Amino acid sequence: MLKVIIADDERLICRLVQTLADWDSLGMEVVAMAENGLEALELVRSRHPDIMITDIRMPGCDGLELIRSAKQIMPDLEVVIISGYAHFEYAQSAMKYGAGYYLLKPIKQAELMETLEKIREKCESRLETMEPSAGSIRTAKRI
């Protein structure tokens, strides 16, 4: 199961994201939620999530700083930004710091599911390239 953390200073948004997705069918589980960027960063350190869904504007540590710091800890972390701001500058900055996906509030279930499916496929293909093939193992044993 891929581990997911959700960070938003609005508790209602965290719960909405948690209920909108069919996590089991995606092979994912929400392991924690945070109400600010500092709490989310601590969760990245302690829970080692595969995916972080975060608001771009939060107290303590905004989403952009959170992404930059989290990517230093976990370079392969997949990041989804959720924001009420449709400004290109926000999306551009988020991508610069390592967010791969940007969803606008109000969050639509179909868009969230489509984004999470893309992330699952990306994570699965990354795992496949990391796993040695059976042929490589047999070759290594012969030597």
Spell out the domain ranges in the chain. 2-142
CATH class of 2-142: alpha beta
48-65 average pLDDT score:
90
- Determine the Cα–Cα distance for residues 140 and 67; give it in Å rounded to an integer: 40
Identify the residue with better confidence: 28 or 94.
28
d(CA 105, CA 54): 12
DSSP E strands in 11-141: the ranges are 28-34, 51-55, 78-83, 101-104
pLDDT value of residue 65 = 92
- Does the pLDDT at position 143 exceed 60? no
Q: Is the pTM of this model over 0.85?
A: yes
Residue range 57-93, pLDDT digits in tens: 888 788 889 999 999 999 999 999 998 877 677 778 8
